[in-house]
Structure formats: structure tokens, C-alpha cells
A and B are shown apart, each in its own frame.
Chain A
Amino acid sequence: MLKVRDLVVAYGGIEALKGISIDVPDGQIITLIGANGAGKSTLLRTIMGLEKAKSGTITYNDEELNSLNSQHIVERGITLVPEGRRIFPNLTVLENLKVGAYLRKDKAGIAEDIKRIYELFPRLEERNWQMAGTLSGGEQQMLAVGRAMMCRPKLIMMDEPSLGLAPLVIKEIFRIIQRINEAGTTVLLVEQNANMALKVAHKAYVLETGRIRMEGTGRELLENEEIKEAYLGKKKK
């Protein structure tokens, strides 16, 4: 279980997170929604060790993560699918997946996982030798998810996986997120597409300018009038 307590992160003098506390219990899908600049990505990047916290703690299974660098955080089974996919464009699909397994040394296990990911995303197998930069947006997102899965994470964090994708592809991505979760991986999902994200979430948090505004189960928030107005585009009657 990942616990974040009173986390403050600042870029220069400006605080992007102003004291955030969330819980991510094992085996669930937890969603963070919020507008641009709410601090969603910052939270994920800080958990990943890409940004340093100013104060507050992040613990995973009662072990503090704040002082670790990304390499050690990946070793503990946490991984990030970064915003905007960030696949390696001039490497082949297969090489991308292999980089994802960088910290693992068991060759047989890696080969097995590549096979598993190709079963999950048959489109990637067809494009095995293609440069990742030549894939379509949806395929790139699948690759980014596949790449993150290659380190056998216990907790996978996804930063806006639906960004810039067609509605049909978004549906496919969310279906896959649920499948990954059913296979036993905890998912921490950051989304602007609140409607889809809340539907799959066990629990959700609403972020607003660096603070938690609201929390509840996905269903509760979907039916909340304020949320409807602010994020789901439905007018208050």
C-alpha cells in the first residue's frame, strides 16, 4: 500500500502541491482527476523520484521512498507511464520493451513477459521491428503501457493515458487498464477524462490547485453535482 502524507512540492518558489495525502491500497484502481495545473503529474513524478519533495512523506509498504532515486523505486515495483507517452522513437518496439526490463536480469522471464505483452497488445507484435516513432498514437500508448509492465510492477502509475487519442482507442486503453488491474497490479491513474476514469475507479480523489478537494468512490463522485458541473460538462439544473 502506497501512502502519501502532507506532501509539499515546489518548483522554485511556487508550490505545485500544498500538502496532499492519499492512500493507494493494493489491488485497486485509484484515480486522480483535476484541471490543468492541479498538480496531478507533479504528484506522480514525485512518487517516482523525478522531483524532490519539500516536505511530507511517501511510504510504500511502510518503507519511505522520499530519499530514494528512481532506480531504487523501480526496483521496489513502482513504475510510471509518463504523460505524452514518451516512448523511445528511434528504437524498435521490441527494444522499447527490453529497455522497460532494464533492471531485470532473468532472460527467460523477460522473454515470457514480452510474449505476455504481445498477447495483451497483438498490434505491437505485428510491429515488432518497426521504429516506435512510426506507430500511431494509440499504438504508442499501448507500447508505453507495455514497456512499463516489463518491470513486473506491483503498482503502475499512468499519467493521462487517454491524451490525444480517439474515443474508440480510449475505450480500448481503459479496457486494458482494467485487465491489468484484474491480473493483480495496483493502478494509480491520473486523468482529465473524468467520466471514463471515474467509471473504472475503486476510489477517486479530486485535485484542485495543489490540494485535495474531494474524495470518494468512483460512483459517488460521478453522481456529485459539483463534479458533474466542473468535470463532466453537465449543467446544474
Chain B
Amino acid sequence: MLTVVALIVLFGLSCFVQGEVDAYIRRIVNLCLIYAIIGLSMNITNGFAGQFSLGQAGFMAIGAYMVGIFTVPVNLRADVFYAVPMNPHLVNIYMPLWLALIMGGILAALVAGLIGTPVLRLRGDYLAIATLGFSEIIRIIITNANTITNGALGIKNIPSLNDVRYIFLATAVSYILMTLLLSSSYGRAFKAIREDEIAAEAMGINLFHHKNLAFMVSAFFAGIGGGLYGALLGTVDPKNFLFTLTYNFLLIIVLGGMGSVTGSMLGAVIVTAGLEYLRVFDEPLEIMGVAIPLFRPGLRMVVFSVLLMVCVLFWRHGIMGTNEFTWDKLINFLKHPKFGRKKEVQRK
């Protein structure tokens, strides 16, 4: 109930951001929202099902290219594909953004299903390496499929989506769908697999089926997030989807807490907004006429990395751990600020 109210309040806030706030802040809010979707999607495989996968950038690329290829207005396509003409089968197909997003998600999920069949037999580090490799393969295929994706030139002229409300709604719907999945018996099965594969199997949970499902759902939402990302930038380019992009999301989920939905949301906001906030460190600073030599472009990342290390040292399981933010806990805390935690224990 309170969640519904909160969503409405947040939607109102997003309308306000859309109408009143300058483009720079709006951009950051949009990025936070998109990163939240993708962070959450990555948390399904890595945090809930416990399968260490690093393929998110590849699935984002699929979603982003789906949006890139099909939402550019037909009359502008010749301009975009000036080096190699576009594939004649595709040149006249146009999709509205929402359809392209969903198709991108579905295609990403299908690719994940194909990749998952051989790859999900691996565990731990090996799985991470294999998924990382596949995400690079996707990127390289995109780079070389000139008539479809315009190769290394990328696709420009995507009608730019700069509407906080639209992105907010997409995030809210993704959030609700993923939360429903994770709180169902499937979610419990994912967690059981994370905790102990052998015991989970003895309970009759089909390991392969569930790992694949988690992987595909994760890819689906990564595809949607990637599509929104492409639409926000107004241009897609294979270089946007290098594997380093995946680490952003790894950072978000580790910082927010592996296996916590609300943690991923929080992590996305902290990482995206935090990086922007720290921009002061990149600007030259003069104290009493003396320029401090440390303050130059790049210091921001140093400070950020140090903060991250501190975070990981003191909150080893991320800010939320595997806990969730719930209204009960908040109300409890507000009523008894000091004894909030104790009270909770007693109630059990």
C-alpha cells in the first residue's frame, strides 16, 4: 500500500524533474533510473541465483541496437547508413520505441537462452569468464554486421528520449515485474540454488532450468535497460558496450548488496549520482591564490575508488546486504529510533 503511494509520489517527482529542472540534472536522474533497471537485472543472476555472470554489456548492446535500428525515422536512414547501405529487408521497418524496447528484451533473452545452455554448466570464475567472452562476441558481431548495424560507425539520429516520466515508468514496471518474480517460489528456488546446489537439487529443483530462467530474465531486462540507454544517448556505437560497462553494474550490485532489490536501486543512485557529485575534484582548485596540484581531471576517480574501498571494507555485504528495505522496518525505526533494531528482534 505504502509502496503504491511512494510510486505515485516518485512519479510526481519525476514530472517535476521533467518540467522544472535543468537538462543536466534531468540527465543524471535518467541515468540513475536506467542503471537501476540494469543493476537489478544483473542482481537476479549474480545476487539471487548466485551465478557469477559478466555478460550484461552484451545484452544491453542487443537492446540498444534494436532501438537504434528500428526507431530511426525511415527517411533519415540513408543519412545514417552513408558508408554501407542498410539491408533492404530492414530499411522500411519502423517500430515505436516501446515495441523496440520489448523486442530488444526478447531478443536478448533468446540469445541468453542459447548461450546459457552450454555456459551455465560452468561455475564461479569460469562462468564469469565465459559470459564475459560471449558479451564481447556479441559486440564484435555487431561491429561487423555492417548492413544491419552500420558497423563501427554506430547509429545516429535515434529520436532522443529525454523524458523522465517515460523512463521512470519503464523502471517502475521493470522493478515491479522483477520483484514479483523474486518473491514467488521461483525467487526462493533461485536463492536455494545460490545457497546450496546439491540440497536444492534434492528438493526437486531443476538446477539447469532455473539457472537458465534467471539468466534469460536478467538478459531481458538488461536488453530493455540497454534500449533505454541507447534512446537516451540518441546514438549507439559498439564502443559504448565494451566489457568495462559491465563493471559499472557489478559495482552497483556489490555496493548496494548482492541479493537485495532495494540495494540495487540504492547502489545505482549512489554510483551514478556520486560520480557526478565528485566532479568538483576534477576542477582546478585555488586556495589563497595557490593552485593545489592534485586537483586535476582524474582525481575524481581516485577519490571514488577510495570511497568504494572504504565501503567494501566496512560493509562487506554491501549497504543492504541481502536485506530489503520495507516500510515496517522504517516505521519501526521512526517510532523507536534507538531501539529500532532491538524491537525487531523481539517481535520474532
**Residues in A lying within 8 Å of B, measured CB to CB:** 48, 50, 69-71, 73-75, 79-80, 82, 86-91, 95, 98-100, 102-103, 127-130, 147, 151
Contact = CB atoms under 8 A, between A and B. Distances in A.
Nearest to B202: A80
A91 B198 contact: no
Contacts of B185: 98, 102
B191 A50 contact: no
Contact of B204 (A82, A91, A98, A102): A102
Given A91-B188, A98-B185, A129-B348, A103 B204 contact: yes
Majority secondary structure of chain B interface residues (helix, strand, loop or mixed): helix
Interface centre among B194, B201, B203 (most CB of A within 10 A): B203
Ranked 9 nearest A-B pairs via Cβ:
A74-B204, A88-B195, A86-B199, A103-B204, A80-B202, A99-B192, A129-B348, A71-B204, A71-B206
Interface residues of B, number: 20
Given A90-B195, A90-B322, A130-B348, A69 B203 contact: no
Interface string B168-212: 000000000000000001001101101110111111111000000
Contacts of B259: 90
Contact of A99 (B189, B206, B322): B189
B203 A95 contact: no
Contacts of A89: 195
A80 B198 CA distance: 11
The residue in A86, A87, A89 that gathers the most chain B C-beta atoms within 10 A of its C-beta is A86
Contacts of B322: 90
A48 to B, nearest CB: 6
Contacts of A82: 198-199, 202
Contact of B196 (A70, A71, A74, A86): A86
B202 A91 contact: no
25 contacts: A69-B206, A70-B201, A70-B204, A74-B203, A75-B204, A80-B202, A82-B199, A82-B202, A86-B198, A86-B199, A86-B202, A87-B196, A87-B199, A88-B192, A88-B195, A90-B194, A90-B259, A90-B322, A95-B191, A99-B191, A102-B185, A102-B192, A127-B348, A129-B348, A151-B203
